[in-house]
């Protein structure tokens, strides 16, 4: 699977993942919510680090910057 998560999106995912992981570690919420928050934090961290998101793939969303081929020749001159 190709990368489909852009740099800004990755940073937000990692920061949110770390914040949610901290909440799950501290146990601020109930037991079931701690498990849900922990799973969500793990998914956000993994998708942020790898740059790939399954849900983006299913929805055909791509926030990554695709590299454009660079040409050093100028075709406008008609040469």
For the stretch 51-74, pLDDT in tens is: 999 999 999 989 887 655 665 665
Domain membership of residue 75 (yes or no) is no
Mean pLDDT on 13-22: 97
* 72 in a structural domain: no
The arithmetic mean of pLDDT across residues 12-23, rounded, is 96
The mean pLDDT of 18-32, rounded to a whole number, is 94
Asked if residue 6 is part of any domain, the answer here is no
In this structure, is residue 77 part of a structural domain?
no
3-state secondary structure the chain: CCCCCCHHHHHHHHHHHHHHHHHHHHCCCCHHHHHHHHHHHHHHHHHHHHCCCHHHHHHCCCCCCCCCCCCCCCHHHCC
User: Which residues, in sequence order, are CB contacts of 47 under 8 Å at separation 6+?
Assistant: 5, 13, 53, 54
Say what the pTM is. 0.77
- For the chain, what is the domain count? 1
Host domain of residue 16: 12-63
* Predicted pLDDT of residue 15: 97
62 Cβ contact partners less than 8 Å away, ≥ 6 residues apart: 4, 56
């Amino acid at each position: 699977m190709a990368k489909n998560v852009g740099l800004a999106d990755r940073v937000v995912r990692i920061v949110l993942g770390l914040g949610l992981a901290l909440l799950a570690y501290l146990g601020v919420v109930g037991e079931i919510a701690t498990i849900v928050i922990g799973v969500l934090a793990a998914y956000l961290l993994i998708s942020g680090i790898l740059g790939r998101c399954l849900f983006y793939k299913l929805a055909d969303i791509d926030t990554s910057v695709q590299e454009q081929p660079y040409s050093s020749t100028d075709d406008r001159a008609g040469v």
